[in-house]
Structure 1
């Protein structure tokens, strides 16, 4: 069983990466914070079921991914241009804002499984076997999602960008 000080250490070590992951899925700062906090809360509530084999980050990504997936199923579409500045990426502004918005819109148009695989691979830096463990899929399925998602993203961007 995990002690509270171990949870605090876990939160301090992984909050930023789980938050960034949630933000890239939902695109809203406050919502990403809520989802991140909920992911850690669920981790804590289910700590008795967690096997302490050093994969707590995978477990956190699984919880956060499920929360983001549930939110994406319920959300109503919002144009990225309509989001207030406070809900946009907390990182430094991209050099070409229109291109960044176009890429975010294209990512949002992908099915969740493909978008999730692309974000975990290209943004979070996970390998295909690690993504398979996080998403409870096989490595070939993850590789298929990555290839199909990348191909579809290129198609969408080719339509939007000059």
Structure 2
């Protein structure tokens, strides 16, 4: 992969990977850092990548692993604790209270379930695509979606009127 190809890849997919990281982390600068790190790792390990047209899946895998590693090292910061300058202005919630409640419910899910929910509902990947990204099986993806949606219903039932 030539540098021009990498630049085209970054231009084509930066916003998607950034949005994915931001939804996991809720912090603009951290999401930007991990997005850049994902592309850097892709570039550094391009010899391992087979050019089969799935570079976006590979980028999601790298970004998901970076987010997971960050959660292992750091305790997440509540969105209310962030100054306005760190909230992503590109994602204005239609109803702030509802958005914060849903965000808190998502944060309460285990990483694997949250990751699956974000890839499926937010990014629009299919179960087989998520299985490839997360290196699991389609039944595992479906199970995680089922468990996550049940848990989200429970959490949101308690919080939303």
Scaled to the shorter chain, the TM-score interval is over 0.9
**Which residues of structure 1 form unaligned runs of 5+?**
none
Query: How many residue pairs align between the two structures?
Result: 161
Equivalent residue, structure 2, for 1:19:
18
Is the partner of 2:147 in helix, strand or coil? helix
Is the partner of 1:52 in helix, strand or coil? coil
Post-superposition offset of 1:124: 0.3
Is the partner of 2:98 in helix, strand or coil? helix
Equivalent residue, structure 1, for 2:89:
90
Q: How does 1:120-135 map to 2 (within 5 A)?
A: 120-135=119-134
CA distance in 2, matches of 1:29, 1:77: 13
Equivalent residue, structure 2, for 1:119:
118
Post-superposition offset of 1:87: 2.0
Equivalent residue, structure 1, for 2:27:
28
CA distance in 2, matches of 1:79, 1:157: 17
Q: Residue deviations 1:98-121, cap 9 Å, x none?
A: 110111011001000000000000
8 Å CA contact 2:42–2:59 kept in 1: the answer is yes
Equivalent residue, structure 1, for 2:72:
73
8 Å CA contact 1:29–1:90 kept in 2: the answer is no
Q: Residue deviations 1:38-78, cap 9 Å, x none?
A: 00000000001110111100100000000000011112242
CA distance in 1, matches of 2:128, 2:89: 29
**Which residues of structure 2 form unaligned runs of 5+?**
none
Post-superposition offset of 1:92: 4.4
CA distance in 1, matches of 2:93, 2:80: 15
CA distance in 2, matches of 1:54, 1:101: 36
Structure 1-normalised TM-score? 0.96
Post-superposition offset of 1:123: 0.4
Structure 2-normalised TM-score? 0.97
CA distance in 2, matches of 1:161, 1:15: 34
CA distance in 1, matches of 2:91, 2:34: 22
Q: How does 1:55-74 map to 2 (within 5 A)?
A: 55-74=54-73
8 Å CA contact 1:107–1:115 kept in 2: the answer is yes
